[in-house]
Amino acid sequence: MNYKNIANDILKILKQIWNNSNNVALHAPCFKGNEKKYLAECIDSTFVSSVGKYVDLFEDMLVDYTGVKRAIAVVNGTCALHLALQLAGVMPGDEVIVPALSFVATANAVKFCGAIPHFADSELSTLGMAPGKLDLYLNDIIKFNRQTGCVIPVNKYSGRPIRAVVPMHTFGHPVDMDPLIELCGKYKITMVEDAAESLGSLYKNKHTGSFGKLGILSFNGNKIITTGGGGAILTNDDILADRAKYLTTTAKRPHSWEYFHDETGFNYRMPNINAALGCAQLEQLPSLLESKRQLAKLYQKKFANIPGVSFFCETDFARSNYWLNVLLLSEETEYLRNDILKTTNTAGYMSRPAWTLLNKLPMFSNCPAMNLDNAEALGKQIINIPSSPLI
Ligand SMILES: *Cc1c(COP(=O)(O)O)cnc(C)c1O
């Protein structure tokens, strides 16, 4: 089989779908609703910053949409994850299991807590954390009480507590959650979900980000909806939610005029002007999702007949938001990856490889890791192709 033409075959399909444009983004935001109206209201009211009605409204809308009990809007997804990990009890010197195949923020947030990322492999069918493989690995590295057989959630090789597991729903595709939840119970490890990429994605009809003790979302400019910059913490636990709100607003004790803070808090609260944008965006999420799923269907059909490349589809337990569409090269064609990236980007169709695996980045290269064969294979085979909602 000769695959030499694969780059041009892919480009031809992109051109068909995007009407021969020569400037197609990987993911452009879409402002077709009440954005201008709400922003103008916000400016007219002078409440553009940390006080105003849109923050509460945005949080209520997130609660309605995701089905979690509480949502706390913050300035970005990274600080949402930082605080969520801290609220989950992650302490300096702990280890936190994160996927090696993720955006750098997942591991950075662990470092912000003074903890150590411990890298886990991916499942080929979901692109997310591989529960079966992780179970075998933890069984091998975790301490057991010799007398009782009870699990002590400590890495017996490093001596450090394994405090949390952070599944990440890669490019919007839900991780297989049931076995991961079981595993967290078995090994007494807390789950915190990095759902930064998966607003609108469901696992067995339940919203991603609502399974862990806490979950987080991102509303960065390239995510499915945007607030400019922004994020949210999701939780079903009122006590954690109240603490999140308190710690994101400088840990100030409520009082009509006194400034009294009784902990080192953060200035992580989302400004009203960003929340105004978020409300307008969230109103359009159902139609954005529909259009993104249509695009994915179109890609699936068009790429079905190109040998050496396949379009990545959701599994039967998942309903994906298809945030970034994924082409997978085969072992025979992966050597043509850079050729494909060059051909498509030069023609104005933005495409990107997967992130460099986190364990390969200099600041994480000494962190513990399990066998990462699947993540390494995916790292060579993934190409993200233009994914903006088709309008
Ligand atoms: C975007 C993203 C984040 C961080 O979100 P920001 O709002 O950009 O800080 C975290 N994790 C993953 C997997 C992401 O894709």
Query: Which pLDDT belongs to residue 339?
Result: 96
Average pLDDT over residues 211-237: 98
Say whether pLDDT at 123 is over 70: yes
Q: In angstroms, rounded to a whole number, what is the distance separating the alpha carbons of residues 254 and 122?
A: 45
Average pLDDT over residues 23-37: 97
Q: Ligand 1, residues 75, 78, 83, 199: which to mutate, most atoms within 8 A of Cβ?
A: 78
* Radius of gyration, alpha carbons of the chain: 22
Summarize the confidence of residues 188-196 as an average pLDDT: 98
Is residue 205 predicted with pLDDT exceeding 70? yes
Ligand 1 center–CA 77 separation, angstroms: 5
| Structure confidence at residue 219 (pLDDT) | 98
Q: Which residues, including other chains, have CB under 8 Å from residue 62's CB and lie 6 or more apart?
A: 68, 71, 73, 217, 232, 234, 282
pLDDT in tens, 295-342: 999 999 999 999 999 999 999 999 999 999 999 999 999 999 999 999
- How would residue 2 be classed by pLDDT, with cut points 50, 70 and 90? confident
Distance from the Cα of residue 368 to its chain's centroid: 22
Pocket test for ligand 1, best of 27, 104, 192, 194 (most atoms within 8 A of CB): 194
Ligand 1, closest atom to CA 105?
A: 10
Question: pLDDT at residue 181 above 70?
Answer: yes
Report the alpha-carbon distance of residue 58 to residue 54 in Å, rounded. 6
Confidence of residue 391 (pLDDT cuts 50, 70, 90): low
SS3 assignment, position 222: coil
Kind and range of the H or E element at 109? helix 104-112
In this model, does residue 149 exceed pLDDT 90?
no
pLDDT (0 to 100) of residue 318: 97
Give dist(CA 285, CA 169) in Å, integer. Answer: 18
Residues lining ligand 1, Cβ inside 6 A? 76-78, 81, 102-103, 105-106, 168, 194, 196-197, 218, 220, 231
Q: Among residues 377, 390, 375, which one has the least CA distance to residue 170?
A: 375
Å from CA of 344 to ligand 1 middle: 25
Mean pLDDT of 274-297: 97
**Contact (CB, 8 A) for 119 and 368:** yes
Residue 385 CB contacts under 8 Å (≥ 6 apart), including other chains: 10, 14, 26, 299, 325, 326, 327, 344, 349, 351
Position 390 pLDDT exceeds 90: no
Which atom number of ligand 1 is nearest to the Cα of residue 168? 13
- Average pLDDT in the chain: 96
pLDDT at 4 over 90: no
pLDDT in tens, 124-146: 999 999 999 999 999 999 999 88
- What per-residue confidence (pLDDT) applies to 84? 98
Q: Which of 361, 364, 355, 303 is nearest to 333 (CA)?
A: 303
Is the four-CA dihedral 102, 104, 109, 110 of positive or negative sign? positive
pLDDT of 241 > 70? The answer is yes
pLDDT at residue 350 tops 90:
yes
d(CA 180, ligand 1 centre) in Å: 21
Please choose, from the candidates 57, 20, 10, the residue with its C-alpha nearest in 3D space to the C-alpha of residue 227: 57
Calpha distance 292→17 (Å, rounded): 13
Question: How confident is the model at residue 50, as a pLDDT?
Answer: 83
Which contacts of 40-45 are long-range, i.e. CB under 8 A and separated by 24 or more positions?
Answer: 41/276, 42/272, 42/273, 42/276, 43/273
Cβ pair 104, 360 in contact under 8 A: no
The residue written with tokens 């609108």 in the block is: 200
Please report, to the nearest 10 degrees, the dihedral formed by the alpha carbons of residues 309, 314, 320, 326 taken in order: -10
Ligand 1: distance of its center to the CA of 105 in Å? 6
Q: 385 has which bridge partners? A: 325
Residue to substitute in 79, 122, 166, 197 for testing ligand 1 pocket (most ligand atoms within 8 angstroms of CB): 197
Residue 362 above 80 pLDDT? yes
Nearest CA to ligand 1 atom 14: 196
